[in-house]
Amino acid sequence: MFVSKPDDIKEEEWSTKLPTNHILVSLIDMNETKSGQKFCTACERENETESACSWCVNCSEALCKSCDRYHRRNKASSNHKLIEIGADVPIDIPLQHADVFCKEHPEKKVKAYCNDHSTVCCMTCVMLKHRKCDNVGSIEDAAEVMKQSDEVKEFEDKLKGFKTSLKAFVQNRVDNLQNFEADIERIKLQVDALFKELSEHLEKLKTNIRLEIAKVEKEIKPEMEDKRDEMKSKIAAVDNGVALFQTNMKHAPPAQFIKAMEKLSEQKKVLENHLRDQSQKIKEIKVTFNTNEKVLEMKNVIQNFGRLDVKRSDTDVMSHPTVDMRSVESILSSEVEIGFDVEGIVLLRNKNVVLSCTKTIELRDSECRSVLSSLSLPNCPRGLKMISDTEGAVAVQWHGLVLFKVQNNQIRKVSEIQANVIYDFVYHKGRYYIGYGNKICIYNRNNDNYSMISEISVNHSVGYMALRDDSSLCYTVYNDNSVYCVRMDGTPVFTYSSKDLRFTVGVTVDRTGFIYVCGHISRNVHQLSQDGKLQRIISNNLTADPNCITFNARGDEFVIGCYMKVLLFCLK
């Protein structure tokens, strides 16, 4: 549309008569105050540069400290709404229809919008630069058309998509950090175990050589002492012979002297023969220690216990965006007859399944039909959780926790924690929180053993448990219709109860913080918000009595362990 200037009016006067309504530039200016440094608008009009500290919503201008002070004092602007730079705009503050001035003609207010050039313009610009344009109209009409356009809707969807993707990135980092911390703790335990194994082996070798030393000493030393004592006795006999000889030399009569010499001569021959015989038989005994060359080389050959490998692999976070669990639809993808009561179940990253059954836990394929491996247990297993990608633990009733490892489609026992436990536990920052009666007992690793370091008192007998965040956890109670959330010191956070939730059992928390609790008798799963409010009932028509529920690592699938069945769901 082209608008002609009347002949009886000046350009400036005529251009000011066109309607104006500009929000866009004001929004851009206000956004700049949040995203970076903004200078005082009032000072800029005087060709001065001062950093802005506040934004006037009514004037749509940035103000420095000095102008802010005078703006508040001025009667005309004393009731204006001033917002500190960087602060969020309250939702109850209406956007003001502020005047926006033309870039080409700073003294002119923007009055029109040229659709041909997609730009705002003052009336002078309309006459001088856009007089041949076919589509010049009011800003109000242009803004209304823009609001209804597919481009704006697409832009809004893009922004929402960016937020969803950013949440996925954050969750990916949270998950990776948790796995990293678990890997660090696992490696520390491996190093401790290796050191202990080497120490025990070296101690055994030391004991063996010390026993051998003692045996040699016991056998050889008495023999040497006997020979020494025998020689000492011969010295005494020689001393007696010398004394007898000297006495006879001085005092004996001739006949007695000759007789004594004959006797001494015989003794001398016996002694000479004995010395000759002993000199041939006597052996020099010396003991030495020949060190094993491999032991000698150990210090040079073995310079470390091992090597840490930090692998940085690509992860396509964008292909697994954060799911909006408030509106997503859960689809039953598989229903598997098991033949026993499943009271603990987890989904591994490779989509295989670990589940608890009668006095065993089984590793099954992704369809939960074929048993790949199993681990026998001393009693009935209950709660089952993975501590890392390959390591997990299961609560064994009246026995404790059995720690296991899943690798190469095999499941094997690693160690165990002797503890009173009935149903379940949670793992948090290297510690196990084990439910027993009205207490949650905290176990920490001490060398090769786990010992209880403290306990938390709660108001109910703890059933199944789920870690909610770094500061709280949820638990259910046997033969109850509620789920309870408490802080790590036992302080209550909230309690959720419903007539539609009967006999609460398994409970879990998804990666976005929503809580899920199984109703065994009501045959449903209730989804709760982070503050314990019902969001929806996931399924009110389950084909079996649910016992436990868990999500996969990506959060787009979950599985429910039931009486005689396993139900696999995907999210759409």
Least trusted range by pLDDT, from 70-84, 156-170, 423-437: 156-170
> So what's the pLDDT on residue 27?
46
Domain-wise residue ranges, the chain: 11-149, 150-260, 327-571
Walk across the sheet containing 82-84 and list its strands. 61-63, 54-56, 82-84
User: How is domain 327-571 classified at the architecture level of CATH?
Assistant: 6 Propeller (2.120)
Higher pLDDT, 276 or 418: 418
Average pLDDT over residues 303-329: 67
CA dist., res. 538 & res. 402, Å (int): 32
> So what's the pLDDT on residue 386?
92
> So what's the pLDDT on residue 93?
45
> So what's the pLDDT on residue 92?
43
Give the pLDDT band of residue 289 (cuts 50, 70, 90): confident
DSSP, residue by residue, 14-46: HHTTS-----HHHHHHHHHHHHS--B-HHHHHT
- pTM to 2 decimals? 0.53
Residue 98 has pLDDT above 70, yes or no: no
Give the pLDDT band of residue 7 (cuts 50, 70, 90): low
Residue 35 has pLDDT above 50, yes or no: no
- pLDDT digit string, tens, across residues 510-548: 888 899 999 999 999 999 998 999 999 987 678 899 999
- Cβ neighbourhood burial of 536 (10 Å; 0-12, 13-18, 19+): middle
Residue 53 has pLDDT above 60, yes or no: yes
- pLDDT digit string, tens, across residues 254-275: 888 788 788 878 888 888 888 8
Residues 6+ apart with CB under 8 A from 174: 511
User: CB of 323 within 8 A of CB of 570?
Assistant: no
Higher pLDDT, 341 or 89: 341
Higher pLDDT, 89 or 356: 356
- pLDDT digit string, tens, across residues 121-164: 999 999 889 988 988 998 888 888 888 888 888 888 788 778 87
User: CB of 550 within 8 A of CB of 557?
Assistant: no
